[in-house]
Amino acid sequence: MPEEISPELRAQWQVPSFEVSSWSGRQHRWCVVVPVLNEGDRIKRLLGRMASEGTSRIADIIIVDGGSTDGSLGLQELESNDVSALLVKMGDGQLSAQLRCAYAFALDHGYEGVVTIDGNDKDDPAPIADFVDALSGGVDFVQASRYVDGGVQENTPKLRDLAIRIVHAPALRHFSGFDWTDTTQGFRAYSRRMLLDTKIDLFRDVFMSYELLAYLSYRAPKLGYRCLELPTIRRYPEGEVPTKINGLRGNWALLKILFRACRGAYDPKSI
């Protein structure tokens, strides 16, 4: 049985306001959370690929929208691709705020683990089944990696590739104690017990943009959670970089988040 959430703990969670635009009910022990914001045809292609892989036969698909205005999330198309829920964040914040909405929804509805994959169609969704198998086998944190044996990267921007290999992953390896190789992408999976741990305390308003990605990679290994990297394929389309992180300012913001995470700035203050 899924670990229960005490009313006292749930009342302490800081979760941005969100609307449940559609919900067909929980069918599986696991869910796949897909954060989106104006992804256009990219989210349609990803959902089509997930349908081809039979993702909805092993996990419920939950889309969390950050406030798209491009009309890419028609309910009829979502239903035809077996999407179980569409959540629309109404409150402030970017990716981490969206994820807090989706993770709170998933935990409230009894899911035993969550896989997250970006909605911009850069990641091959086929390994979702492997992520679910790892969660079922007792792994708490699964990270996709294009850099481990069997992983593939195509058209990764040179600056980003260097930043991951030379700065981001080495810093998190050193400070977390786990041998991470690919630490900036959002294709991941987490166990219910890890998401509920008060020593992680992820439902806080300090997590508004990209903080959760670096923080969880730092914090989970230090708390003894079982972590694993699995090989995946990440393809950037030629001539296009589908990302919300742009330019020197965006990359510098990521580095500041990394340095804050590695010195424990996001750790719960009461621990």
Q: Note whether residue 271 is domain-resident.
A: no
Q: Note whether residue 268 is domain-resident.
A: no
Mean per-residue pLDDT, 236-248? 63
For residue 88, list its beta bridge partners.
Answer: 19, 65
Q: Note whether residue 172 is domain-resident.
A: yes
Q: Answer whether residue 263 shows pLDDT above 60.
A: yes
Which one-letter DSSP state was computed for residue 167? Answer: I
Number of domains in the chain: 1
Q: Please spell the DSSP secondary structure of 197-265, one letter per residue.
A: -TTT---STT-SSSHHHHHHHHHHHHTT--EEEEE-EEEPPTT----S--HHHHHHHHHHHHHHHHTTT
Helix (H, G, I), strand (E, B) or coil at 246: coil
**Dist CA 234 CA 46 (whole Å):** 13
For residue 228, list its beta bridge partners.
Answer: 142
Q: Answer whether residue 271 shows pLDDT above 80.
A: no
Q: In terms of Cα–Cα distance, which of 114, 173, 117 is closest to 139?
A: 114
pLDDT in tens, 97-132: 999 999 999 999 999 999 999 999 999 999 999 999
Structure tokens belonging to residue 148: 């481990």
Residue 244's pLDDT is: 52
Structure tokens belonging to residue 117: 């994959």
Q: What burial class does residue 66 get, using C-beta atoms within 10 Å of its C-beta: 0-12 exposed, 13-18 middle, 19+ buried?
A: buried
Q: In terms of Cα–Cα distance, which of 227, 245, 248 is closest to 131?
A: 227
Q: In terms of Cα–Cα distance, which of 86, 106, 91, 87 is closest to 5?
A: 106
Mean per-residue pLDDT, 158-165? 90
Q: Note whether residue 225 is domain-resident.
A: yes
Q: Please spell the DSSP secondary structure of 27-58, one letter per residue.
A: -SSEEEEEEESS-THHHHHHHHHHHHHTGGGT
Confidence category of residue 237, pLDDT binned at 50, 70, 90? confident
* Segments forming the whole domain that contains residue 166: 7-262
Domain of 195: which CATH number? 3.90.550.10
Sheet with strand 83-89: strands edge to edge: 18-23, 83-89, 60-65, 30-36, 113-116, 188-191, 141-145, 227-231
Which one-letter DSSP state was computed for residue 68? Answer: -
Q: Note whether residue 270 is domain-resident.
A: no
Q: Note whether residue 1 is domain-resident.
A: no
CA distances from 254 to 43, 179, 193, 209 (A): 24, 20, 27, 9
Q: Note whether residue 267 is domain-resident.
A: no
pLDDT in tens, 4-45: 899 999 999 999 999 999 999 999 999 999 999 999 999 999
Q: Note whether residue 170 is domain-resident.
A: yes
Percent with pLDDT over 90 in the chain? 85
- Are β-strands 60-65 and 83-89 bridged in parallel, bridged antiparallel, or unpaired? parallel
